[in-house]
Amino acid sequence: MHSMDAGLAWTRRRGAFFENSRAALLMLALGASSIAMGSGCRAVLGRSAEAARQSELVKSLDSASTDVRIAALEDLQTLRAAALPESVGEMIQDADPRVRRAAVAVIAVRNHPDAHDLLLTALEDPDVQVRLAAVAGLGQSVDAPSRRALENVLSGDTETMRAAAVAALAVQGAADVVQSVADDKSWRVRQAVAAGLARDASSQAAEIAVQMVSDRSAQVQQQAVEAVAAWPLDLAGPVLLTAAASPSYLTSKLAAEQLAERWPAASTLPSEPPRGLTPGQVAAWKVERRRHIAELRDQWVVEYGDRLMAAADAKARGAVARIATPDAIAHAERLVEALAAANQAAEETRATLDALRAMGPDLLAVADAWAREENGRTIPEAVFADVLPEVAPAIATINELASADVSARRTAAGKLAEAATREGLGPVAIARLVSVIEKEQDVVVWQQALRAVAEADAADLPPAARRLAALALSHGDAEVRRRGCETVAAWHDPRMTPLLAESLSDANAGVVLAAARAYAALGAGDDPRPLLPMLASRDRALRLAAAEALARSRYREGVDGLERLAADADATVRRQAALAMGRTRDTNFVPLLVQLLDDRSPVQQAAMEGLAAIHGQDVGRGDLGASATVADRVARWKQWHTAGERRG
């Protein structure tokens, strides 16, 4: 990994680059005298010089060049002069959506005289990025009208906008409103709620977190586990103990690892079973692990009291109810073996099916346990057709996908996708889906099926999910292959990474980009070779995704790649590189991100987001919350970094 000296040398080069590129971009609009007013001169001349510079920047908003107008708006954000003139508000009517987005940002940050009305106007913009910028802008104010506007977005808009509104309300400190949508039908909104919990270490937030670590969506579960990482242990412990008891692989694993790091008593709690166990041995291992967690819960009460444990116990009991016991597995195995006997009479078959039906939810737990194993027991067709639909309605819908009528299959696939947003798909349902859809050619059916599994409890992926992904990635239609890449990314399961390698050489550029972005979400895994050629691509989006994937897995090539992208002439690319650095959670990027705090506003904002992601807390806002100005936040981050260097 790069050294601190190398990082500081790089940041000095970057500082010179920023000043030169900004000067070149605004040369025509501002003239040589304006260029002389670099950041150092502004500090000397003080507020009067800033007012003069603002006047020149406002004039440049009339430039015919889109890039000049954007650069001027970005520079206006960095000034602390008097209030913006009303004329700046006219920029939200610009023909270019990029200019409108930049205008929305400066109107919010600099508190334009008509900021609230202008941001409300921007909420109706035809460009979704402008609307999202307006939502973020409203979040920077703590006044009642802004909060009401965000609540209106939250009450009825697209899931992307609702998720953005949740994030903005969390910044405002409106924890009550954020937590009120913890049951939203969209996993993206619930994930935003889970992320917002990091800002509210309270008993009420802990009760919501206990709920969210048992959510049907893997992304929500994992976000909730991550959200409590910076909480005091007395609040985080019940949440982590609940998550550790989850039947979901990644949720349980991440919670156990975090708990073991933070609480010495949990240091011996295993995060995953040993390899090579039979289904019966895995079931026994899970029973023993549940016993271990129960003992830890008892010890927790002794050390920390029973605060929050009632809600946690209810969720833990629900999680345990979804786990098959060894007795249930043995009973179901005997019945399935009898059902498979070639000489069984029709009456005996009916009796066996009735016995399986009588197991009720226990049969579903057993079927899910079988589906999780690499070589799990084959479930007879009669069980899928006549028994499991009674305890798993999703399987009844999946059975409809075997229809010869394509319109019927499309209807069933749509119904399945909608149901998955509410209930999620368990392992045996995914296994059944694979067996029914493997010969499907219709693109619409495939799109809905992939939507269904992306919305499912993806942390509990069965081996059949790999087969489903492989089928999608090798499908004849490029749209199915692209959606397949997105689905693998949504699962957040690094074990799926090798499936993406061939998609990086797909004939369709959209598939290649989707595969690269999936790698960025998962990491490069143990084999970085498929991604290395992407670092030399002419497509910046491909270079960015490849660099992030490699850097996430701590490959030097990825670190170097993000550093190069952070020096790109395009501010949009620099902004994306800063965000990617944050997502890697690599503390070695901190010096570079601190230097990016002196870049233009969108890059500056991204640098602060990246620093908060790496550090786990928003040092810039601190106790000021939404009232913190950009200058305040930048100064706090720099002070934090300087203090860290002194300690180091």
Arithmetic mean of pLDDT, 195-203? 89
Q: What is the DSSP letter of 385?
A: I
Specify whether domain 84-181 bears CATH 1.25.10.10. yes
Model pLDDT for residues 3-22, shown as the tens digit of each residue: 333 333 333 333 443 444 44
Model pLDDT for residues 376-422, shown as the tens digit of each residue: 788 999 999 999 999 899 999 999 999 999 999 999 999 999 888 77
pLDDT number for residue 621: 76
**What sign for the dihedral angle of Cα 89, 90, 91, 92?**
positive
Residue 104 has pLDDT above 90, yes or no: yes
pLDDT number for residue 486: 93
Rg (CA), the chain: 27
Q: Which of 60, 93, 64, 90 is nearest to 74 (CA)?
A: 60
- Report how far apart, in Å, the C-alpha atoms of 32 and of each of 64, 436, 598 are: 19, 69, 21
Model pLDDT for residues 514-553, shown as the tens digit of each residue: 999 999 988 898 889 999 999 999 999 999 999 999 999 9
Share of residues in the chain with pLDDT > 90 (%):
44
Arithmetic mean of pLDDT, 210-236? 87
pLDDT band at 230 (very low <50, low <70, confident <90, very high): confident
- Report how far apart, in Å, the C-alpha atoms of 16 and of each of 10, 24, 379, 567 are: 10, 12, 66, 11
Least confident window among 218-227, 471-480, 638-647: 638-647
List every span in the chain annotated with CATH 1.25.10.10.
84-181
Side chain identity at residue 208, one-letter code: I
Residue with the two structure tokens 């289904």: 279
Least confident window among 92-106, 293-307, 435-449: 293-307
pLDDT number for residue 142: 80
Mean pLDDT for all residues in the chain? 84
Residue with the two structure tokens 């006044």: 143
Which has more pLDDT, 251 or 593? 593
CA 514, CA 155: separation in Å to the nearest integer? 31
Share of residues in the chain with pLDDT > 70 (%):
87
Phi and psi based region of residue 305 (left: phi greater than 0; alpha: psi -120 to 50; beta: remaining): left
Which has more pLDDT, 86 or 573? 573
Report phi then psi at 251, rounded to 5. -60, -50
Q: Please, are residues 467 and 484 in contact by the beta-carbon 8 Å criterion?
A: no
Two tokens, residue 525: 């895994």
pLDDT number for residue 227: 92
pLDDT number for residue 312: 61
Arithmetic mean of pLDDT, 466-480? 94
Task: Provide the 10 A C-beta neighbour count for residue 77.
Answer: 21
- Report how far apart, in Å, the C-alpha atoms of 348 and of each of 339, 353, 433 are: 8, 9, 28
pLDDT band at 279 (very low <50, low <70, confident <90, very high): low
pLDDT band at 424 (very low <50, low <70, confident <90, very high): confident
pLDDT band at 575 (very low <50, low <70, confident <90, very high): very high
Q: Which of 416, 394, 330, 325 is nearest to 365 (CA)?
A: 325
pLDDT band at 616 (very low <50, low <70, confident <90, very high): confident
Question: Angle at CA 145, nearest 5°, toward 613 and 84?
Answer: 75
Q: How far is CA 516 from the centre of its chain?
A: 16
CA 470, CA 466: separation in Å to the nearest integer? 6
pLDDT number for residue 624: 66
Arithmetic mean of pLDDT, 181-192? 88
CA 545, CA 23: separation in Å to the nearest integer? 30
Torsion of CA 618, 621, 626, 629, to 10 degrees: -130
Residue 623 has pLDDT above 90, yes or no: no
DSSP H helical ranges for 400-474: 406-423, 427-437, 443-454, 463-473
**Crossing angle of helices 630-647/601-615, nearest 10°?**
50
Residue 303 has pLDDT above 80, yes or no: yes
Least confident window among 273-282, 482-491, 580-589: 273-282
CA 296, CA 269: separation in Å to the nearest integer? 9
Model pLDDT for residues 8-67, shown as the tens digit of each residue: 333 333 344 344 444 444 443 444 333 333 444 334 445 677 778 888 888 888 889 988
pLDDT number for residue 487: 92
Model pLDDT for residues 251-278, shown as the tens digit of each residue: 888 899 999 999 999 999 988 888 777 7
Q: Which of 414, 410, 366 is nearest to 392 (CA)?
A: 366
Judge if pTM exceeds 0.95. no
Residue 369 has pLDDT above 60, yes or no: yes
Contacts 24+ apart (CB under 8 A), 230-234: 230/198, 230/201, 230/616, 230/617, 231/198, 231/201, 231/206, 232/201, 233/262, 233/263, 233/304, 234/304, 234/307
pLDDT number for residue 491: 83
